[in-house]
Structure 1
């Protein structure tokens, strides 16, 4: 049964498409003989089957084998709609971990390196317009510590904070029919202060005599209609959304903006025409919102905004990195919001665009992050840099995305505290992302040993067990003021790397908590992993409140990210179980999250009590 049939690219939707998810032929190639023996040939069948887009390590794949297999092959026969003849046919892959070599009807069409971002090939010339066959050879070096792998463990059995690997196709494979001349890229950049949105787009093919018709609507009311004469491959146009339309629409200015509380979106239709003939049509959307830092705080739409985030690893027991369904992605957003969180830090994962779609639609802040390489090398630098450029290309338009995190806890830069080369890498990633996206804050090294950064993001799990009152008192004191936070060394590491210091940027506690609790009859916390542990739901709520009160008592912290949303494999420190069942009354979590925060009460003597 095919579980993932929803449209995979919600920011740019075309009508002519078909997915290739479902049953594929499959084989391990542990001896790396498939290329030499021409497994890509149409006459060659593979020995097993797999359900795409689920990795072979998962139950939903039908294989469920967590052992090392560094080279795997896929094959699938398919047919192309004959109405697509005369158009170009693109073969898309949402993500393949880590290197993919693609063949169509036995002919090599290209390769892609990078396990977390999309790629495509024009396969028109390889089609025979009868029965077609696509073959994919994947390399995923299980123990290579220079590739961005995030939480995927380079040792065969998962342990502590490291999880089972994901190899091969793990996001949707799909076909798309397009004209030779078409819209190739679209970027929406809102400018709240001017009440504008800037449309940038690129065309592919011959754009002579082409126009792009732009229709922007808000809640069913058209606010912009424009026709752009396409005279260059790259075109930019700014649209005044508020001032010129205020007398034509019933909406007040404040009702136009995107926030987690009111996730207002503008819907867009882009139609490319040449001599009155429609060549391409895309459905898109954007949100009018601004995120920036000022006066030691984060501002959303020019108002101080206290971010209450939850760490979200994006793993599922039946699919690992791949959600079992689109509804599962939506449910994660809804559960987090029901617990009083207004966003998440998507940890060590480039999440499926469908998650960002639901975050846009439902109103949920997202911090975007890329899996880290365990080790530092020039190869690791190049690989991380290339992935980040592709991440920015894919995700820039999502209003829910409000921050970028290129490095985490000095993973991949273990000597960044003092090594100038690794510091330059941290700075290079910061400036690269800022050069590609001037609209969002960038956190240079979330946790500690920051270089230049727009947010001072600190991790501290030292709250202690309930009976460790002295440890808790020290934890609370270490968070109480800016001076205490900047002097703290919660993981025996300084908050800033040598040669760098706090320059007034907002201070957020971006990892803390991690309370282990195994729901159900088996409450033996030794069988799972967390930072501290409890054995009942009542104790869990009491502990959660205790650590949140320490955060809310701080005079310097302007937002937090609690660890974590769900259990993952051996980690049992989630607010939800691995299969998304609440461990306690989520309404009580919501009440605790709603106790107080610094932007609403300014009395520093307030204890955090209701």
Structure 2
């Protein structure tokens, strides 16, 4: 073990440097009149929507009383802590962030107005014309409100009140910290994904679920309406005959044969488009024909397979942070740039780490051909670093022998805390199961808030039996799930024999600081290099001499840390502003 490098990552006494303003090229070019205007829900698309991104008025208060005045402007959907919000101020746990915007609307007969929020961190109360109509808890998932009966003809007052306790509560927090530093980053709050209005008929399609049955050349489609009624439903899949059927239910299940199957893969990411038409509604969607399985090879070694063909998941860890937008990408083009760059560097997989992205990010992975491992966002009471970080890093025997029934040690002593995580797992899978690119659910990472892993793995399997599960990434393995999943930063990776597929779900973390492209003077990484040439040499040596030779012995996937620098942590393949790639793409 490289003990000195491991010790250097313990930054308890490191001075916290103020962040240096650092913009991406997309942030520099942002048009405040046209902010993230692309359709926000590609898997269920209608012809009409009203984007509410742009400048809202805001006020920060120390009480929950409705503010008398909103004097300041914030650029939605960027959190107030970000540069692009034009606020650049940290919301504290005992403060309330109020947003206000006036919208001119027309009440129409036989229609409904649905107000959508992509994500609001962390507790959001929604007001229409000063009347509180909804409260949502949880900073990472979308929610919607039917505001039809609350609106007026003409001017309407939309107000949102947000409280974010960040890492001072047990709610989902990811890598956010009010006292940032090292591997933890600036806490962000408030609205951070697109806000939009949608006009729908009185009876409308609320959701569509499409599950491919690759082996039988068919799909299982579930159409969910907002209420039961008599409906004539027509489904037109490209290159297939239109089918029609009647229904009176709220939830309709239908199997549809695919006559000319075109498999999805990173090399050929084919997406089928389809249109569903009902009495008064029409939506567009898409799906892919693919299946992820684990099958033994001729030597009886478990292998990850895509469409029954072995595939090595050569991946990179992506935490989805931006130097000017924090959780929010400055533009849709920025999202595409990251994914396309990852593919150009030779990767076929992204591990989306401790964050849920905007729907458009997953859509781009679907259409560009990138496999995604999706982490559940960690939560729980404050963690014990000695238990979940330092001891497992130094003493590998603890990784396997530690039980997750020690709820207090793993920050899960509170039953409400545990139940909220279970509920959010269900909501996460319900939301993200729309996207074919996702192959794997990652339940827990390095023991952060880990509990009852065996039971929860079984539960996730009932929610989605079509994808793989990494139950415990890094350590505290409970001998369940589809993978034996290890992290290697300070010692040489090796195969650990197991009946499950073996993956290295984190490794690397090599740090190289590029002058004028950093947001802090601190350097945090797992091995530091002073030149680009040295960084590239060691990176290639790691892949060619250590990682790739393990494939023949049973390695099924490996996730390099990480895509981009983030604040102190400069172990990215890209700089935090995405201006410099530390590798030569052509090589």
Output the TM-score relative to the length of structure 2. 0.85
- Aligned partner of 2:420 among 376, 383, 386: 383
Which has the higher relative contact order, 1 or 2, with Cα contacts under 8 A spaced 6 or more apart?
2
Residue 185 of structure 2 is matched in structure 1 by 163
CA distance in 2, matches of 1:292, 1:306: 12
User: How much does 1:123 deviate?
Assistant: 0.6
Alignment of 1:126 with 2:153, yes or no, is no
Say whether the 8 Å CA contact 1:318–1:324 is kept in structure 2: yes
SS at match of 1:388: helix
Q: Distance between the aligned counterparts of 1:145 and 1:127, measured in 2?
A: 35
**Separation in 1 of the partners of 2:89 and 2:583?**
35
Output the aligned Cα RMSD: 1.9
Q: How does 1:135-534 map to 2 (within 5 A)?
A: 135-153=159-177, 156-208=178-230, 210-217=231-238, 222-242=239-259, 246=260, 253=261, 256-273=262-279, 279-295=280-296, 296-373=302-379, 374=383, 375-376=411-412, 377-413=414-450, 422=451, 424=452, 426-451=453-478, 452-463=480-491, 475=492, 478-479=493-494, 481-483=495-497, 502=498, 504-520=499-515, 527-534=522-529
**Cα displacement (A) at 1:526:** 7.6
Q: How does 1:17-166 map to 2 (within 5 A)?
A: 17-29=49-61, 31-32=62-63, 34-35=64-65, 38-39=66-67, 44-66=68-90, 68=92, 70-81=95-106, 84-153=108-177, 156-166=178-188
Q: Is the 8 A contact 1:525 1:535 kept in 2?
A: no
The CA deviation at 1:204 is 2.2
Q: Which residue does the alignment assign to 2:28?
A: none
Superposition deviation, residue 570 in structure 1: 0.9
- The answer to whether 1:559 aligns with 2:557 is yes
Of residues 1-10 and 347-356 in structure 1, the stretch that sits farther from structure 2 once superposed is 1-10
Tell me, in whole angstroms, the C-alpha distance in 2 between the residues paired with 1:45 and 1:62.
Answer: 19
1:486 corresponds to: none
Question: Normalising by structure 1, what TM-score?
Answer: 0.81
Q: Which residue of 1 aligns with 2:567?
A: 569
Unaligned runs of 5+ in 2: 1-31, 297-301, 384-410
- Give the C-alpha shift of residue 553 in structure 1: 2.0
Structure 1 76/521 Cα, relative in aligned 2: closer, same or farther at 3 Å? Answer: closer
Indicate if the aligned counterparts of 2:167 and 2:173 stay in contact, CA closer than 8 A. no
1:176-215 CA distances to partner (integer Å, 9 max, x unpaired)? Answer: 111111112210000110011111112223412x111000
Q: CA deviation at 1:585?
A: 4.0
- State how far apart, in whole Å, the 1-side matches of 2:520 and 2:169 are: 31
CA contact (8 A) 1:224 1:241 kept: no
Is residue 517–residue 577 contact of structure 2 (8 Å, CA) maintained in 1?
A: no
What is the DSSP-based 3-state SS (H/G/I as helix, E as strand, rest coil) of the residue aligned with 2:471?
coil
**Tell me, what secondary structure is at the counterpart of 1:15?**
coil
Give secondary structure in 2 for the equivalent of 1:587. Answer: coil
Q: Distance in 2 between matches of 1:230 and 1:67?
A: 49
Alpha-carbon distance between aligned partners in 1 of 2:99 and 2:121, rounded to the nearest angstrom: 13
CA deviation digits over 1:391-420, x for unaligned, max 9? Answer: 11211121111110121110013xxxxxxx
Q: 1:88 to 1:216 in 2, by over 3 A?
A: same
Worse overlay, 351-360 or 226-235 = 226-235
Alignment-derived partner of residue 42 in structure 2: 10
SS of structure 2 residue aligned to 1:507: strand
Report the counterpart of residue 582 of structure 2 in structure 1.
584
* SS of alignment partner, residue 84 of structure 2: helix
Is residue 537–residue 583 contact of structure 1 (8 Å, CA) maintained in 2? no
Question: Which whole-Å CA distance do the structure 2 matches of 1:201 and 1:50 have between them?
Answer: 38
- Matched residue of 2:325: which SS? coil
Q: What CA deviation, in whole Å up to 9, does each residue of 1:463-515 have, x standing for no partner?
A: 5xxxxxxxxxxx1xx51x434xxxxxxxxxxxxxxxxxx4x111011100000
User: How much has 1:525 moved relative to structure 2?
Assistant: 11
Distance 2:339 2:573 in 1: 13
State the distance in 2 between where 1:331 and 1:523 align: 19
